[in-house]
Structure 1
Amino acid sequence: MHLIENVPFFPQEEYQCGPASLAGVLNYYGLKISPEEIANEIYSKSARGTLTIDMVLFAQKIGMSAKQYSGSLDDIRKNIDNKNPVIVMIDTGIFFVQQYHFMVITGYNEEGIIVNSGKVQNKFMPENNFLNMWEKTKYWMLEIRS
């Protein structure tokens, strides 16, 4: 089991997975900021969520290095091994209904990944389930560094 200890966890409020995920990673790097403070800046009421570009721009605006790209399981593993939690976006929708969701990956093992997601900390997701949902977002991933 490869797990980053002490990644702060903020249970998400309704449609606030972006700010909750961003707050967890930013607090991990020592910034003291709440999901509510982030949501006030980047949450879109009309979209009922947060845009990926706004996640990147917010992190950069407060002085962090942030890059989004189409990632892989190897990218996730390398980041976790280097003690860098990453944010991914998955699509939990069914059929033609899209339901995008941000979560923080904090660990992995041979069978899957460990995430802080929604109201659950250190939740295990089997690799195949994760990949099916991640593929629908073209493997969107956000790396943040101090």
Structure 2
Amino acid sequence: MYIKGSEPFRIIRHVPFYPLEDFQCGPASLASVLNFWGIPVTPEEIAIDIYSPSARGTLNLDMQLYPEKKGMKATQYQGSIEDIRNKIDSGYPIIALVDLGLLIYQQNHFMVIMGYDENSIIAHSGKERSKTIALKKFIKTWEKTNFWTLWIRP
């Protein structure tokens, strides 16, 4: 289940990666997690159902409803670093919403978190597979979304 380096580093293997296409981070993140659980679906198929051109993105509620439509359980909630670590340790990749904008400019972005160590998280984010993100930087951007988290499971 875990690979990479020493014991303090934990990462779930075989979480599929779908590079981001034009504001499609929601569909790409869902495709990643759903395919991990054996539900074959592409970001393009998901985008047809849930992408909102007027919002230039995907609504949080649709991120929860789509997996449920596919027979999965999905819960959105205010997460914590401890919760993410517990989910990863239990074999669950997690979707987090972060705000990458500056000052008053909001730029929400969904990413799939599938690993961590003491000072960082590992996520499929945008066009980057298994990106290492410093924990302090991640928390700063995640906090701006009130620590929005999506847990999808069978």
Question: TM class, shorter-chain normalised?
Answer: over 0.9
For residue 91 of structure 1, what is the aligned residue in structure 2? 99
For residue 115 of structure 2, what is the aligned residue in structure 1? 107
Pair 1:14-2:22 in alignment: yes
- Offset, 1:81: 0.2
Amino acid at match of 2:28: A
Equivalents in 2 of 1:85, 1:145: separation in Å? Answer: 9
Equivalents in 1 of 2:61, 2:87: separation in Å? Answer: 21
1:78 is paired with a residue of what secondary structure? helix
Normalization by structure 2: what TM-score? 0.94
For residue 75 of structure 1, what is the aligned residue in structure 2? 83
Pair 1:118-2:109 in alignment: no
Amino acid at match of 2:145: T
Among 2, 5, 24, which residue is 2:32 paired with?
24
Equivalents in 1 of 2:126, 2:141: separation in Å? Answer: 15
Equivalents in 2 of 1:62, 1:23: separation in Å? Answer: 11
Normalization by structure 1: what TM-score? 0.99
Equivalents in 1 of 2:43, 2:83: separation in Å? Answer: 26
State the aligned residue count: 146
Among 54, 58, 80, which residue is 1:50 paired with?
58
Amino acid at match of 1:54: D
Over aligned residues, Cα RMSD in angstroms?
0.4
Q: Name stretches of at least 5 consecutive residues in structure 2 with no aligned partner.
A: 1-8
Q: Name stretches of at least 5 consecutive residues in structure 1 with no aligned partner.
A: none
Amino acid at match of 1:41: D
- Offset, 1:62: 1.0
Runs of 4+ in 1 over 6 A off after TM superposition: none
Equivalents in 2 of 1:138, 1:13: separation in Å? Answer: 25
Amino acid at match of 1:114: I
